[in-house]
Amino acid sequence: MKKLFNHNGFTLIEMIIVISIISLLSTVGMNSYNTVLRNARDTKRKADLHEFVNAIKLFQVHNNRGPSETSWCQSSIGTDPNHGCPPDTITGQWARDATWTDLVTGGYLEELPVDPLNNATYHYYYEPNNPAPNLGGWVRARLESTNAYYYVYWEAP
């Protein structure tokens, strides 16, 4: 018996259907992957802020004062000498001033934490209760998953 058709490959319709299914699945996968990345960065932000505040509390217990500072507030993207936070010019790092010296050189932190993205929208912000002895205050970061600020407060010991 002789075959009517000799199939040596896929038809154009079959290829279009397979490519469409693969495209749909990869789109769903990429969205899920981006959500996981956002949540991971938010978890790091929360952990960094708690570590920062724990270092401040430990410093307060040992020194009966908060870390020194040279301006009213500081951020991980830079500090404006005219008390503006965040600054007009983004430097991408904490100012190397008294707070950095007190916490890092004092051994309370290995280095000041930096936001995973560290840009004008997502950065860490440090605001002690002024004036000295700075025995309270807060740090904050904007979370990507909710677009809301996450605060961690501390009080005098």
pTM: 0.77
DSSP codes, the chain: ---S----S--HHHHHHHHHHHHHHHHHHHHHHHHHHHHHHHHHHHHHHHHHHHHHHHHHHHHSSPPP-SSS-EETT---TTS-SS-SS--SS---SHHHIIIIITTS-SS----SS-SSSS-EEEEE-SSTT---EEEEEE-TTT--EEEEEE---
Domain that holds residue 144: 13-154
Q: Is residue 18 part of a domain?
A: yes
- Residue-wise pLDDT for 8-61, tens only, equals 778 889 899 999 999 999 888 888 899 999 999 999 999 999 999 999 899 988
Q: Is residue 138 part of a domain?
A: yes
Q: Is residue 131 part of a domain?
A: yes
Q: Is residue 3 part of a domain?
A: no
Q: Count the domains in the chain.
A: 1
Q: Is residue 142 part of a domain?
A: yes
Q: Is residue 98 part of a domain?
A: yes
- Residue-wise pLDDT for 56-113, tens only, equals 899 988 988 878 766 667 777 776 655 556 565 666 677 666 566 788 888 999 888 8
Q: Is residue 6 part of a domain?
A: no
